[in-house]
């Protein structure tokens, strides 16, 4: 399992690469001279191109298998680092960035599903925390290497991560869920015995029966896009959720993390931009751990509202600093700490609230029958809007001043808090049946009846870092079966066979 999570560190280094590297590429002695506009394309293109990997994974995950897709995810990352090491033009870097983003689509769609299917329920939360920590660790690695090594040497070091993942993960078993779906029951039995340890025949049979129930329920409750758009409660739930997604992303976190080093350089602060960025990502890493410890202690709405208001204050302060520095002739050196403190405050508050509740809410608010249909819509909106934010941050900052970007994000944070208070339901501690009943009462219309056994399940969640999202609108309903663009042939017999569990 530790081998499986290593791919997140590799992906984190890919996502963190623009922050320390754009300053080098846009400098006068750049090995590959870039304009600011070209740099913004490098920083943002992955949000668009990773959609190819996401939709491909959704189509293939129940046909090819989880393990093969995850092994395949290491290849684009390795190609990315090799191309970066030898890049001599903007076009080559842009092509490399596009290729590397395919891994993000595969990883964020398939890996959470794979790990949830082989892990015991009582350690899934810990595994999710490890993912977030490793992603931030990968970003921290490139933040530390990028400013002090050549682009080629930094790429060579980071290229070892997908290689190590591939070599170690090739020995991991396939998901028993997938094996059952492919009607290779004895292989599923063997895998369960390998990953669960010494199970008694009764325990093994109970595990297999639960998996069959999960697969059957997925087939029986699978909804269509038509249901999502024509049934009033589903349509209104979709609109409310998309509104929250857009406002949560409008905090600017995805853009600010992409241009971290550039922002500190633009601030004119006496603090070293590279060291400031390393300090910020280190605090963010610790926040990723802390967020997982508090998300179930407070309501989703409460965390989101407090977080959004705090983020708005921090961004307003950041904007004021840039305004005074750019328009009023400079900020006294005694306040050189303000940009770093404001950005750290923003990242901590975002991690503990708005950043941690988005995907639990997405996983909990939709009726089980339409989660699969809603997922590609959510994912597409996140990808397109993420690209827009990263691209336009550079355009707006260069055109009218970075302070306008910060102030715009600040206002939208407050709008997000108000929106959350009035429109977003509280989902913490509620079963899916209770959440759906509340949505029916709030928005009218009626949704399909939940199956009796599903209606009593407690929803679980997945806290994702922002780029992971995409990147994976996961439904986390106990079995974490991703319904996004994948289907099991409904004609297949899902009755329980007789297993050989005597081995």
Closest to 244 measured CA to CA, from 365, 396, 388: 365
CA distance 296 to 290: 12
pLDDT computed for residue 391 by the predictor? 92
Q: How many CB atoms lie within 10 A of CB 152?
A: 13
Tell me which of 72-86, 89-103, 479-493 is least confident: 479-493
pTM of the predicted model over 0.85: no
Could you identify the residue written with the tokens 């106990």?
478
The pLDDT of 300-322, averaged and rounded, is 92
Q: Cβ distance 464 to 472 under 8 Å?
A: yes
- Report whether pLDDT(461) > 50: no
**Confidence at 4, pLDDT banded by 50, 70, 90:** low
pLDDT value at 145 more than 90:
yes
Find, among 391, 437, 402, 426, the residue nearest to 38 by Cα: 391
State how far the Cα of 437 lies from the Cα of 392, in Å rounded to an integer: 40
Secondary structure (3-state) at 162: helix
CB 282 within 8 A of CB 140: yes
Q: What stretch of H or E contains 124? A: helix 124-145
Please say whether the beta carbons of 72 and 106 come within 8 A. Answer: yes
Q: Determine contact, residues 424/364, Cβ cutoff 8 Å.
A: no
Q: What is the pLDDT of residue 220?
A: 63
Query: Is residue 142 a contact partner of residue 17, using CB atoms and an 8 Å limit?
Result: yes
What's residue 119's pLDDT?
66
Give mean pLDDT, residues 450-478: 40
- Report residue 210 CA to chain centroid gap: 28
More confident residue, 495 or 32: 32
Q: Where are the domains of the chain?
A: 1-172, 226-485
- 209/394 Cα distance (integer angstroms): 54
What does the pLDDT average to over 47-54? 90
- C-alpha closest to that of 468 among 4, 124, 14: 14
Report CA torsion sign: 178, 47, 45, 314. negative
Task: Assess contact for 116 and 254: CB atoms under 8 A.
Answer: no
122: number of Cβ within 10 Å: 7
Q: Could you tell me the pLDDT band of residue 494, with boundaries at 50, 70 and 90?
A: very low
For 241-270, give the DSSP string.
HHHHHHHHHTT-HHHHHHTHHHHHHHTT-S
Residue pair 42/93 in contact by the 8 Å Cβ criterion:
yes
Q: Is 226-485 in the same CATH topology as 1-172? A: yes
The CA-CA-CA angle for residues 216, 221, 224, to 5°, reads 130
Q: Does domain 1-172 have CATH number 2.40.50.100?
A: no
- Which secondary-structure segment (H or E) carries 436? helix 432-443
Euclidean distance between CA atoms 413 and 421, whole angstroms: 13
Average pLDDT (31-47) is: 92
**Cα 383 from Cα 47, distance rounded (Å):** 5
> Is residue 120 exposed (0-12), middle (13-18) or buried (19+ Cβ within 10 Å)?
exposed
Q: Cα–Cα distance between 345 and 253 in angstroms, integer?
A: 12
- Please report, for residues 64, 76, 100, the alpha-carbon distance to residue 168 in angstroms, rounded to integers and kept in the order given: 20, 17, 20
**Is residue 41's pLDDT more than 90?**
yes
Cα 25 from Cα 151, distance rounded (Å)? 9
The string of pLDDT tens digits covering residues 184-237 is: 777 777 777 777 666 667 767 777 777 777 667 666 656 677 888 888 888 888
pLDDT at 3: 67
pLDDT at residue 423 above 70? yes
Determine the Cα–Cα distance for residues 478 and 330; give it in Å rounded to an integer: 55
CATH classification of 226-485 is 3.30.450.40, yes or no?
A: no
Two structure tokens written together for 481: 């079966």
Sign of CA dihedral 248, 98, 113, 180: positive
Concatenated DSSP letters of 358-421: HHHHHHHHS-TTTHHHHHHHHHHHHHHHHHHHHHHHHHHHHHH-HHHHHHHHHHHHHHHHHHHH
CB atoms within 10 A of CB 384: 13
Q: How many CA atoms lie within 13 A of 405 on its CB side?
A: 23
**Which alpha helices (H) appear in 176-299, and where do they start and end?**
176-181, 185-196, 201-220, 225-230, 232-249, 253-258, 260-266, 273-294
**Cα separation of 382 and 395, whole Å?**
20
Structure tokens at 319: 């904007």
Provide DSSP, 87-114: --SHHHHHHHHHHHHHHHHHHHHHHHHH
- What is the DSSP secondary structure assignment for residue 174, as one 8-state letter? P
pLDDT for the residue numbered 502: 40
Instruction: Give the integer Cα–Cα distance in Å for 269 and 322.
Output: 10
Residue 399: CB atoms within 10 Å: 9
Percent of the chain with pLDDT over 70: 78
* pLDDT tens for each residue of 343-395: 999 988 888 888 877 777 777 787 767 776 787 888 889 889 999 999 999 89
Residue 73 has pLDDT above 90, yes or no: yes
Say how far apart CA 362 and CA 243 lie, in whole Å. Answer: 12
- Whole-number pLDDT of residue 437: 74
pLDDT tens-digit profile of 252-299? 999 998 899 889 888 877 788 889 899 988 888 888 777 766 666 777
Give me the pLDDT at residue 1, please: 55
pLDDT band at 126 (very low <50, low <70, confident <90, very high): low
Distance between CA atoms of residues 310 and 346, nearest Å: 7
Q: Answer yes or no: are the C-beta atoms of 248 and 300 closer than 8 Å.
A: no
């Amino acid at each position: 399992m530790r081998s499986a999570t290593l791919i997140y560190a590799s992906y984190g280094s890919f996502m963190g690469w623009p922050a320390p590297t754009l300053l080098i590429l846009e400098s006068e002695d750049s090995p590959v001279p870039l304009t600011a506009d070209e740099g913004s394309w490098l920083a943002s293109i992955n949000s668009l191109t990773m959609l190819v990997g996401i939709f491909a994974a959704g189509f293939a995950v129940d046909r090819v298998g989880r393990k093969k897709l995850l092994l395949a995810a290491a290849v684009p990352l390795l190609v990315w680092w090799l191309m970066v090491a030898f890049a001599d033009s903007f076009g080559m870097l842009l092509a490399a960035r596009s290729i590397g983003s395919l891994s993000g689509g595969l990883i964020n769609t398939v890996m959470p599903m794979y790990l949830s299917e082989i892990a015991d329920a009582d350690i899934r939360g810990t595994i999710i925390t490890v993912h977030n920590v490793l992603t931030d660790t990968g970003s921290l690695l490139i933040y530390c290497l990028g400013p002090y090594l050549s682009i080629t040497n930094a790429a060579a070091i980071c290229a070892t991560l997908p290689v190590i993942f591939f070599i170690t993960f090739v020995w991991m078993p396939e998901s028993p869920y997938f094996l059952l779906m492919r009607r290779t029951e004895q292989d599923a039995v063997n895998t369960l015995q390998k990953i669960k340890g010494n199970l008694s025949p009764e325990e093994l049979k109970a595990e297999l029966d639960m998996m069959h129930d999960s697969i059957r329920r997925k087939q029986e409750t699978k909804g269509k896009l038509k249901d999502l758009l024509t049934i009033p409660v589903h349509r209104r739930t979709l609109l409310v959720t998309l509104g929250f997604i857009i406002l949560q992303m409008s905090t600017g976190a995805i853009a600010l993390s992409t241009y971290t080093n550039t922002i500190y350089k633009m601030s004119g602060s006496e603090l070293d931009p590279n060291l400031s960025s390393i300090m910020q990502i280190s605090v963010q890493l610790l926040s990723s751990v802390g967020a997982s410890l508090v998300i179930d202690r407070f309501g989703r709405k409460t965390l989101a509202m407090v977080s959004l208001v705090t983020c708005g204050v921090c961004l307003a302060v950041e904007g004021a600093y840039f305004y005074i520095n750019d328009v009023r002739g400079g900020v006294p050196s005694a306040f050189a700490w303000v940009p770093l403190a404001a950005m750290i405050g923003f990242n901590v508050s975002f991690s503990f609230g708005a950043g941690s509740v988005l995907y639990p809410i997405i996983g909990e608010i939709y009726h089980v029958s339409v989660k699969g249909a809603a997922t590609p819509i959510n994912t597409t909106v996140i990808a397109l809007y993420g690209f827009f934010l990263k691209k336009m941050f550079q355009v707006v900052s260069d055109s009218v001043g970075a302070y306008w970007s910060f102030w715009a994000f600040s206002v939208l944070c407050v709008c997000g808090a108000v929106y959350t208070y009035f429109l977003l339901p509280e989902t913490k501690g509620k079963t899916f049946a209770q959440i759906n009943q509340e949505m029916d009462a709030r928005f009218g219309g009626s949704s399909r009846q939940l199956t009796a056994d599903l209606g009593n399940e407690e929803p679980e969640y997945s806290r994702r870092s922002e780029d992971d999202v995409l990147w994976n609108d996961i439904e986390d309903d106990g079995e974490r079966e991703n319904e996004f663009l994948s289907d099991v042939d409904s004609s297949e017999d899902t009755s329980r066979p007789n297993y050989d569990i005597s081995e």
